[in-house]
Structure 1
Amino acid sequence: MTVCTGNICRSPMAEIVLRDRLDAAGLGDQVEVSSSGVSDEEHGRPVDRRARRTLEAHGYPGGDGHRARQVTVDDLASSDLLLPMTAQHARRLRRLAAGAPADGLAEIRMYRSFDPDAPVVEPGGDEQPLDVDDPWYGDEAGFEDCLAEIEAAADGVVAHVRDRLTAREQAS
């Protein structure tokens, strides 16, 4: 599950890109990809029109049928991997996880940590250099930059998921 603020720009863009990359890697039928936001301010809204245009311009579906929703404690238990777009989102997810039973909680890992060209952040260090830029307040170029950051990390996410699936198969 990809996670941003309102679930109308970054996280649905990442959801769509990841679904495309997982399908291309032959893993689409083994992995469910979803998205959510840490806030309910956009609840029920579709993908932002600028995000939709940017996705479609790059050959991705525009997210028809997507409706923004807020992440829940149940998501932390039913998801294997939560991919926050910013350090602030990661902190919110970790606070939410603190109130949940520890068994079966999702791994929380910064989305851009999978980008081989992203800044290196020491474990327990400030994760802010890994933030995916928020395009909401900018122009179309901001959505292009956001998509580029999402695409740069997508193959790393796919490799991580593949490794986890392989490990799960070997353990069973």
Structure 2
Amino acid sequence: MSEGTRGGRTAYRISVVCTGNICRSPMGEWLLREALEDAEIDDVEVVSAGTSSEERGNPMDPRTVAVMRRNGHVDRGWDGHRAQRFTADDFDDLDLVLAADRGHERVLLRLAPTDEDRAKVRLFRSFDPASVATDDLEMDDPWWGDDADFDRTHAEVVAALPGVLEHVRRELSLDRARD
């Protein structure tokens, strides 16, 4: 999308969405932020939200923080994370909306006010070729699980990151070509 279609914004904006915005979506948000920084891809902002307001205002689940630390990720601000709910108005400020699972995808597609907004919605794992090959596109929900479940979700996010980065590079390159 060009700057004109972003309402004057210069940054490409992504939101990662799960249910409560305390496990999967903040994990996706912060790992994607880290990957973008490591890849030196600028002009991209990443946020996260939940489809439910039940956890609104709560920090990330401590088990999410623990799995990220166990895997060598450094707190780049996630301590300040507070859960928020995704609303239809959020589409106005976003270029890509990454749903954790098909249930979230359905909610987001119903919330999307326009066809253009519906086109922004993708499953996070749809950017992982191995997940696409097996049609295993839903991010596991570790909420009721243990460390192994959080480790599996972390691995699913990490596996999709190269594909997300490639998509963002392509979108930013299209923007430059339009300018």
Normalization by structure 2: what TM-score? Answer: 0.86
* Cα distance in 2 between the residues matched to 1:39 and 1:169: 36
* Cα distance in 2 between the residues matched to 1:133 and 1:101: 29
RMSD (Å), alpha carbons:
1.6
**In the TM superposition, what whole-angstrom CA distance separates every residue of 1:13-71 from its partner, at most 9, and x where no partner exists?**
000110011001111x3100000000001000000000101001112235210000000
Note the 1:9-158 alignment, pairs <5 A.
Answer: 9-27=23-41, 29-62=42-75, 63-97=78-112, 100-102=113-115, 107-120=120-133, 129-158=136-165
Bigger proportion of residues as helix: 2
Deviation at 1:105, TM superposition (A): 6.2
State whether residues 77 and 105 of structure 1, in contact with CA within 8 Å, keep that contact through their aligned partners in structure 2.
no
Deviation at 1:120, TM superposition (A): 3.7
Query: Which residue identity does 2:126 align to in structure 1?
Result: S
* Cα distance in 2 between the residues matched to 1:159 and 1:103: 21
Does residue 164 (structure 1) correspond to residue 171 (structure 2)? The answer is yes
Q: Which residue is 2:8 aligned to? A: none
Normalization by structure 1: what TM-score? Answer: 0.89
3-state DSSP of counterpart to 2:130 = coil
* Cα distance in 1 between the residues matched to 2:163 and 2:45: 17
3-state DSSP of counterpart to 2:98 = strand
State whether residues 2 and 84 of structure 1, in contact with CA within 8 Å, keep that contact through their aligned partners in structure 2.
yes
3-state DSSP of counterpart to 1:36 = strand
* Cα distance in 2 between the residues matched to 1:47 and 1:59: 17
Q: Which runs of 5+ in 1 are unaligned?
A: 122-126
**In the TM superposition, what whole-angstrom CA distance separates every residue of 1:118-156 from its partner, at most 9, and x where no partner exists?**
1348xxxxx7x3110000001111000000000000111
* Cα distance in 2 between the residues matched to 1:59 and 1:119: 27
* Cα distance in 2 between the residues matched to 1:106 and 1:7: 22
* Cα distance in 1 between the residues matched to 2:169 and 2:140: 27
Q: Which runs of 5+ in 2 are unaligned?
A: 1-14
Count of equivalent residues: 163
Bigger proportion of residues as strand: 2
CA change 1:36–1:6 in 2 (3 A) is same
Query: Which residue identity does 1:68 align to in structure 2?
Result: A
Query: Which residue identity does 2:101 align to in structure 1?
Result: T
